[in-house]
């Protein structure tokens, strides 16, 4: 992990936990966008954006690559009452689709994403399937 990336994280009030490939840093929702922008300026490459439902909140995970080989993740929690986060689609262009997928499956809305519509499910769908509150129907057999 390069020292300048670690420095950027500390500016935004967070630090890396864990070693090697799965280091992670938890940021506040306010610092989410600025921190990602600074990391992008310092040369971090986009890898993935996804989320995990933690029960009372949804944790959005941005996986970044410190070229060429190391990766680390930046995380922000959205409470269930207010599932909103700033978009990263203008900082990392591929994040546009990734954010649409998080919206489609978890219901987290990204402010500023140019196309905040469902991407995988049909547009008529009303469910957010990867939320824990959504339970699949049991088979009768």
The distance of Cα 56 from the centroid of its chain, to the nearest Å, equals 17
The 3-state DSSP class for residue 111 equals strand
Place of tokens 């689709």: 97
Compute the least distance from the CB of residue 5 to other proteins, in Å. 17
Compute the least distance from the CB of residue 29 to other proteins, in Å. 20
Among 31, 35, 36, 46, binds other proteins (CB under 8 A): 46
Span near other proteins by CB under 8 A; candidates 2-10, 29-37, 63-71, 77-85:
63-71
**CB neighbours (10 Å) of residue 116?**
17
Among 1, 6, 37, 52, binds other proteins (CB under 8 A): 52
Among 4, 16, 29, 50, binds other proteins (CB under 8 A): 50
Which residues are CB-contacts of 36 (< 8 A; sequence separation ≥ 6)? 62, 64, 74, 88, 91, 92
Kindly tell me the sign of the dihedral angle through the C-alpha atoms of 95, 82, 131, 64.
Answer: positive
- Chain residues binding other proteins by CB under 8 A are 21-22, 45-48, 50, 52-53, 61, 63, 67-71, 73, 92-94, 96-98, 101, 105, 118-125, 127, 129-130, 134, 136-137, 139
């Amino acid at each position: 992990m390069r020292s300048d990336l670690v420095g950027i994280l500390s500016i935004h009030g967070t630090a890396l936990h864990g070693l090697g490939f799965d280091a992670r840093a938890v940021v506040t929702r306010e610092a989410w966008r600025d921190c990602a922008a600074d990391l992008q300026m310092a040369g971090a490459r986009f890898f993935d954006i996804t989320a995990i439902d933690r029960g009372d909140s949804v944790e959005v995970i941005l996986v970044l690559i410190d070229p060429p080989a190391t990766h680390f993740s930046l995380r922000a929690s959205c409470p269930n009452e207010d599932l909103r986060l700033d978009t990263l689609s203008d900082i990392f262009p591929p994040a546009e689709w990734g954010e649409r997928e998080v919206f489609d499956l978890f219901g987290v809305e990204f402010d500023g994403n140019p196309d905040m519509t469902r991407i995988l499910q049909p547009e008529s769908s009303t469910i957010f399937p990867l939320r824990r509150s959504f339970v699949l129907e049991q088979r009768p057999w």
